[in-house]
Chain A
Amino acid sequence: MTVSQLQRDRLAYKRSRTRRSTAVALLSTVVFAVVAWFAVTSAPGWSTVRSSFLDLDTAVSALPAILDGLWLNLRVLVVCELLILVLGLGIAALRTLRGPVWFPVRALATGYVDLFRGLPLIICLYLVGFGLPGLRLSGVPNDPVLLGGIALVLIYSAYVAEVFRAGIDSVHPSQRAAARSIGLTHAQTMRIVVVPQAVRRVLPPLLNDFVALQKDCGLISVLGAVDAVRAAQIATARFYDFTPYVVAGLLFVLLAVPCARLADAAGRRLARREGSG
């Protein structure tokens, strides 16, 4: 394809501007980094900060135990998230039921959401983790991991139920009318038409709640479960140095970053789809 001289000149000019912008950005970043580095390292007390938060030897010695703990967090995370999704969707679906027969079910689901969305997670953890075994009833487990997981599921399924309900409400009534008009029952309409569209729409907020759950999995340590947080606490006490906390914290951050990017991408894809529709 032939391009006029005018267009070639314009493209060349645009390219030169782009190169210039890149060079400026690069230079400014380097200058900024160097200034920041000198400001931090020359500050009084930097050596104390470095030895008590960023001590490499301590980090290396604490890492295996923290990683072991993190593996526990990850397993708790996966199991809890699956239960939360199932329970949350179930509660949201119960809240959409119409008709007087379902009044108690609806009321119960609403009450559940009100209770566990308002209850601080730490209180729920104490009540389930220490309160339940304290009853000394037969059959009540006393494994802190299991009890902590139950508390997380109770709280988070209330949040996730509300996310699902918002998604269900966001599906336009005309979709329901169309589904009913071809003869689908209420349950079939929900299952085949409404919920699949709702889930797609709420994927970004669901991933957001997933990231929140990732961090809150560390709270099972208050019940005595030896997870990443607990392992860091033990190492901190042993080495008399806060570096293990920093290590554990960084690991949680590393875990959250891919999810956050995934949530962003899901949100963008949704925006594009809705925009094109």
Chain B
Amino acid sequence: MSEQVLQVRGLVKDYGERRVLDGVDVAVGEHEIVVLIGASGSGKSTLLRCVNLLEEIDDGQILLDGQDVSDPRVDPDLARRRMGVVFQSYNLFPHLSVLDNVTLAPRVVHGLGRAEAEERGRALLARVGLADRAGSYPDRLSGGQQQRVAIVRALAYEPRLLLLDEITSALDPELVGEVLALVRELAEQGTTILMATHEMGFARQVADRVCFLDGGVLVESGPPERVLVDPEHDRTWQFLRRVIQAGRL
């Protein structure tokens, strides 16, 4: 089992009286892309936040490279340093330049020198086509550019696992493509990714496995050509039918 980068076992999360995740099992192997789908409020984002230890869980286990990081004796700061997160609303630091956003973690957390961190930061920005925006502040960038910077920020310290939380949901339709193209490129390079998305077409193309969540329960999971085309469960069907009616598949 040690080749699994992430293993989530029987994860339970309550917000007060409401159970948002009810015994969810998900595993992500090395170089795998696992896509979480489901309606808003189905628990996709909460699952990602729990994996990143931004939320305290109420039962179950989260194993990162075989280590139980949900154990309260594990320092969550150390565990988080092995994961990168990209949020729906970018969450770039507005008072720092693009380059400083990208080099912050390598410099402060991983002790890289400024010169080396900036050289690597510039190289990464060049890779996503934003070399000329290194000195700009986030509010001068379009949503798509900001989200690409956020992806670079999450990649800058070479995390074992990349968590993407509906990273195209806040973007104008014409900007979605540039961000998805970047994720596709990362997938081809072997980045291990767990992502929540509403982009079913994209999920179908890049996912190794698709997990359908409904009401905090993992209803079914499997290869995209099965889950998205010929699912076993009625609830998955109903969800897909709504998505198709909305013109998103």
Report B-chain residues with C-beta under 8 Å of the C-beta of A175.
91, 93
Interface residue B144 (Cβ < 8 Å from any Cβ of A) = no
- B134 CB to nearest A CB, Å: 18
Looking across the interface, which residue of chain B has its beta carbon closest to that of A277? B139
Of all chain B residues, which has the CB nearest A196?
B95
Asked if A182 and B109 sit within 8 Å, CB to CB, the answer is yes
In-complex Cβ contact of A180 among B80, B94, B104, B110 (8 A): B80
Interface size range on B against A? 20 to 34
Question: Given contacts A181-B85, A188-B108, is CB(A193)–CB(B93) below 8 Å?
Answer: yes
Q: A182 near B54 (CB under 8 angstroms)?
A: no
Are B157's CB and A182's CB within 8 A? yes
A174 to B104, CA, bound (A): 17
Shortest distance from the beta carbon of B169 to any chain A beta carbon, whole Å:
14
A183 and B157 form a contact (CB under 8 A) = yes
Q: Are A185 and B85 in contact (CB under 8 A)?
A: no
Q: Closest CB of chain A to B140's CB: distance in Å?
A: 9
Cβ–Cβ contact A182 & B84, under 8 A: yes
Residues on A with beta carbons closer than 8 Å to the beta carbon of B109: 182-184, 188
Complex CA gap A82/B49 in Å reads 41
Nearest B residue to A193, CB-CB? B93
Contact B94 A277 (CB under 8 A): yes
A-side binding surface: helix, strand, loop or mixed? helix
Our pick among B78, B94, B95, B104 for the contact of A182 (Cβ within 8 Å) is: B104
Q: B108 — which chain A residues lie within 8 A by C-beta? A: 184, 188, 192
CA gap between A163 and B216 in the complex, in Å: 41
In whole angstroms, how far apart are the Cα atoms of A177 and B154 in the complex?
A: 13
Say how far A272's CB is from chain B's closest CB, in angstroms: 11
| A-B pairs with beta carbons under 8 A, tally | 64
Do A177 and B54 touch across chains, with their CB atoms under 8 A apart? Answer: yes
Q: When each residue 120-163 of chain A gets 1 if its CB lies under 8 Å from chain B and 0 otherwise, what string results?
A: 00000000000000000000000000000000000000000000
- Residues of B contacting A185 in the complex (Cβ-Cβ under 8 angstroms): 77
Mark A166-186 against chain B: 1 for CB-CB distance below 8 A, else 0. 000000001101111111110
Q: How far is the CA of A273 from the CA of B139 in the complex (A)?
A: 9
Chain A residues positioned under 8 Å from B95 (CB to CB):
196-197, 200
- Find chain A residues with CB under 8 A from B89 CB: 174
Which of A184, A200, A276 has most chain B Cβ within 10 Å? A184
- Contact residues in A for B81 (Cβ distance below 8 Å): 182-183
Contact with B along A80-102 (1 / 0, CB 8 A): 00000000000000000000000
* Residues on the A chain within 8 Å of B148, using CB: none
- A185 CA to B79 CA, complexed, in Å: 12
Give the complex CA separation of A181 and B95 in angstroms: 18
Bound-complex Cα distance A181 to B108 (A): 13
State in angstroms the CA–CA spacing of A95 and B127 once bound together.
42
Q: A182 to B89, alpha carbons, bound, how many Å? A: 16
Let me know if B91 and A276 touch, CB within 8 A: no
- List, in ascending order, chain A residues with CB within 8 A of B49's CB: 177
Answer yes or no: B187 CB below 8 A from chain A CBs.
Answer: no
Residue of A nearest to B102 (CB): A182
List of A residues within 8 angstroms of B91 by Cβ: 174-175, 177-178
Residues in B neighbouring A188, C-beta threshold 8 A = 108-109
**Once bound together, how far apart are the Cα atoms of A175 and B49, in whole Å?**
14
Cα A182 to Cα B157 with chains together (Å)? 9
A182 touches B153 (CB 8 A): yes
Say yes or no: A197-B94 contact (C-beta < 8 A), given A174-B87, A183-B105, A185-B77: yes
User: How many whole Å from A190's CB to the nearest CB in chain B?
Assistant: 12
Give CA–CA (A200, B139) in the complex, Å.
16
Known interface pairs A174-B89, A192-B104; A180-B54 also in contact (CB < 8 Å): yes
12 residue pairs bridging A and B, Cβ less than 8 Å apart:
A175-B91, A175-B93, A177-B87, A178-B85, A178-B92, A182-B85, A182-B104, A183-B80, A183-B110, A184-B108, A184-B109, A197-B94
Interface residues, chain B, CB within 8 Å of chain A?
A: 49, 52, 54, 77-78, 80-81, 83-85, 87, 89, 91-95, 104-105, 108-110, 139, 153-154, 157
A residues sitting closer than 8 Å to B (CB atoms) are: 174-175, 177-185, 188, 192-193, 196-197, 200, 273, 276-277
